[in-house]
Amino acid sequence: MKSKISLNSSYPYLLSLPAVLLVASVSIYPTLFSFYLSMTRFRSGAVQFVGLKNFSILLSTSHFYESLSATMVFLVFYVAITVIVSLLVALMLNSGIAASGLYMTVIFLPWILSEITSGVVWRWFFYRDYGILQNLLGPLFDNATIITTPGGAMGIVTAATIWRSVSFGMLLLLAGLQTIPKEVYEAANVDGAVGFIQFRRITWPLLFPTVIVTTAFLTIQAVNNVGMFLSITDGGPGRATEVLSLYMYREAIQYFNLGYGASLSVLLLLLNAVLAAVYLRFLKRENALAA
């Protein structure tokens, strides 16, 4: 009897063990190893333990704060604009317009292209003399090469990343919109609540949890984004678009400065964790209010 109880109680753990082992090997172990790497440095193929020296160097250099600042600027503009545009597109597609399938396909195309391919195309758009967008927008910037100005370069990467991510945000929000019961809208119509009032009183409150989740996903994407920066500006001009993830990539992958790169990845993980915690808190508060 005792052994049967024991078997029954351990059965769920046994069933989940393969998945736990898999997650541990591909996620938990590399994360812990990154913490270890962040306290080492490599010289001539040998590993030296240096304690917190990498963090001390990192936090004392202005490059880190420049990168953090570039990351935050990108994060705010990218997430805010992507959520707004995605919401507008989702509302449009949810309103039952004709040929919505065609629109959806067109909107989805950028998402299925690789980051590097998209990035290279966007860089070509802004080539001096040849770039179509450079020629169109140049007069607005005193005919400067837009990609060589710090603000212009950040604007180009932000725009390109938004162009790529709108479909992702739209998909999540559209799914959220479709979970709102039609009866609620019908009742609102009977009561005379239409248009923007309907959106403010019904759609927005019911969609808010999905907006929070979408924002959290986009935030994590923004903080970890390397490909678009690498392929469009390579962090330039100077370090104007060298966000933290690109800084980490450059140190770890390009210069094989694995310890320093790992210390950057640890700080990125903390940044992601803090931002995720903020969003979860929003979500919890919203759920509590709804209850």
Partner 1 sequence: MKKKVLALVVLVLFICAGTMLWAAAAEEAKEEKVIFWGFYDLTDTADSRAAFMAEAINGFQEDTGIMVEYEQVAWDQMDNKVNLVARSGGDMPDVVQGAAENIPGWVNAGALLNIQEPISKLSWYDSLDQFEKNMFEKNGERYAVGLFIGGGNYYYDLASFPNGLPETAEEWLAEGARLKKEGKYALTGFMGKGSGGAAVAQGYAPFFWSNGGSVFDEEGKPNWATPQNIEVVEWVREMFAKGYMPEAAFTGDWTASEIPFTSGKAGAVRGGSWSFIYMEGLEDRYNRGEVVIAAPPSFGDQGYVFANSETFAVTKGAENAENAIAFIDYFVSNDERLAGWANAQFGTPTTATAQKAEIFGNQFYVDTAKNLFTHGHVSETSPYYNECSDALATTLQELIINQRLDIQTELEELEDLMLKLYW
Give CA–CA dist 211/215, Å, rounded: 6
Shortest CB 57 distance to partner 1, Å: 5
Which CB, 176 or 259, lies closer to partner 1? 259
Question: Which tokens hold the place of 105?
Answer: 């396909």
Q: Does 141 bind partner 1 (CB under 8 A)?
A: no
Among 68, 100, 103, 145, contact with partner 1 (rule: CB under 8 A): 145
Which CB, 181 or 238, lies closer to partner 1? 238
Shortest CB 61 distance to partner 1, Å: 5
Q: Cβ of 162: how many Cβ atoms within 10 Å? A: 21
Q: Shortest CA distance to 226 belongs to which of 204, 254, 202? A: 254
Shortest CB 45 distance to partner 1, Å: 5
Q: Does 254 bind partner 1 (CB under 8 A)?
A: yes
User: Could you tell me if 276 and 220 are in contact, meaning their C-beta atoms sit under 8 angstroms apart?
Assistant: yes
Q: Kindly indicate which of the ranges 91-99, 197-205, 206-214, 236-244 contains the residues binding partner 1, using the contact rule CB under 8 A.
A: 236-244
Bridge partners for 49 per DSSP: 40
Q: Does 256 bind partner 1 (CB under 8 A)?
A: yes
The sign of the dihedral angle between the CA atoms of 253, 257, 258, 260 is: negative
Question: Which tokens hold the place of 109?
Answer: 């195309």
Q: Does 62 bind partner 1 (CB under 8 A)?
A: yes
Shortest CB 50 distance to partner 1, Å: 11
Query: CB-based contacts of 184: which residues, under 8 Å, 6+ apart?
Result: 202, 206
Among 20, 36, 48, 63, contact with partner 1 (rule: CB under 8 A): 63
3-state secondary structure of 43: strand
Which CB, 93 or 240, lies closer to partner 1? 240
What is the enclosing helix (H) or strand (E) of 41? strand 40-43
Among 127, 199, 217, 282, contact with partner 1 (rule: CB under 8 A): 127
Which CB, 37 or 147, lies closer to partner 1? 147
Q: Does 239 bind partner 1 (CB under 8 A)?
A: yes
Among 30, 151, 181, 238, contact with partner 1 (rule: CB under 8 A): 238
Question: Which tokens hold the place of 117?
Answer: 């391919």
Q: Which residues of 105-133 are buried (b: 16+ CB within 10 A; e: fewer)?
A: eebeebeeeebeebbeebbebbeeeebeb
* 273 exposure class (CB count in 10 Å sphere: 0-12, 13-18, 19+): exposed
Among 119, 169, 176, 235, contact with partner 1 (rule: CB under 8 A): 235
Among 77, 111, 137, 148, contact with partner 1 (rule: CB under 8 A): 148
Q: Does 61 bind partner 1 (CB under 8 A)?
A: yes
Binding stretches for partner 1 (CB under 8 A): 42, 44-45, 57, 61-63, 127-129, 144-145, 147-150, 233-240, 242, 254-257, 260
